[in-house]
Amino acid sequence: MSDTARIPAIVLGGTGYVSGELLRLLTAHPHFDLAGVLSDSQPGEPVANAFRHLAPVLGELKFSAQAQIEALLAGLPRVAIFGAAPHGVSAALIDALLARAEAAGVDAHVVDISADFRYRSADAYTAVYRHAHGAPARLAQFICAVPEHLARAPTRHVAHPGCFSTATLLACVPLLALDLVEPTLFVAGVTGSTGSGRKPVEGTHHPQRHSDFYAYNPLAHRHTPEIAACAQLASGVAAEFAFVPHSGPFARGIHVTVQAMLKTPRSGDEVLGAFRDFYRGAPFVQVDAGAPHVKDVAASNYARLTAAANGRTVAVTCVVDNLNKGAAGGAVQWMNRLFGLPETAGLTAPAAGWT
């Protein structure tokens, strides 16, 4: 693709950690040009004020209000829209922008990172989030999955699963799709503090989080129904998930361990072989016999997995970066696909290490 064919990109909800990661990826992307960043709380303010580490690449770019983004949309032939607004806000915002794009004949694709389009029905969404969906008529236009589990998106727009969900799905879908396990899976996941967002709360306050480790919302986390729905879509198997999330004393990363009962006893090598075959051709999934570390993937779009088996028990471990593979990077990976670009474009930088 020539520089003259570069695709304008717009980021919605521009001041959070995920937005910052999107900006970092998009400013270095070979095919997308950052055209606008929406923030109704800071319109007219320099984007670099919110993300000082990105100041060298953001230049004089300023946050835009919704009306400015809508006016910008109307003058573009095509656009990539990345939704990083909070759940409960994202749906109505995306609905308004898509209506504007449709009226102007703009070729628009959306990848939403919030939870607003992860469910197939408004009732399923409301059951989890306890408020009405902001754009129920748009739900059929979105599919929710990690890129590795769908050869192509059957819809025009995509909802990227959450970070816990991404790691869990990468670990469990091969087990279910290959009919290796009984359909009851036990998941223990650990997240870094950036997973709680930019607004300071007790769980992310450094004196509370530092050198500590604890579970929260055991067997009642809001991502559990999302995991079950996405796993069934990807594998064809309706499974039950018992999920216990934990807060870890690090900033970036997700570490998930999935345990289940094998239908037939298998060795660890056999399970590893099955995973290698399943993810053959998936450029961002690395299957290895060694234990994956969060620092192996921090600040990258890569996932690392391993598996162990003992008799009929199997344990699969997966690590991803919550802000990248679990959010912004996975969204860019999907958008690459939606526009027919190389899936790996702008995403091949390795982990930072020693974060």
> Would you name the residues annotated as active-site residues?
163
Cβ–Cβ under 8 Å, residues 227 and 167: no
Q: Give the H/E segment covering residue 8.
A: strand 7-12
Angle, nearest 10°, between helix axes 223-235 and 122-129? Answer: 150
CA distance 325 to 217: 23
CA distance 283 to 302: 8
Transcribe 193-204 into DSSP letters. GGGG-SS--GGG
How big is the CA angle at 167 (ends 166 and 170), to the nearest 5 degrees?
85
Q: Which residue is it, tokens 């306050």?
A: 205
H helix intervals, the chain: 17-26, 47-50, 55-58, 66-74, 90-103, 122-129, 163-177, 206-209, 223-235, 268-278, 329-338
How big is the CA angle at 266 (ends 292 and 283), to the nearest 5 degrees?
40
Among the listed residues 84, 93, 136, the one whose alpha carbon sits nearest the alpha carbon of residue 115: 84
Q: CA dist 111 to 155, 156, 158, 331, Å?
A: 11, 9, 5, 6
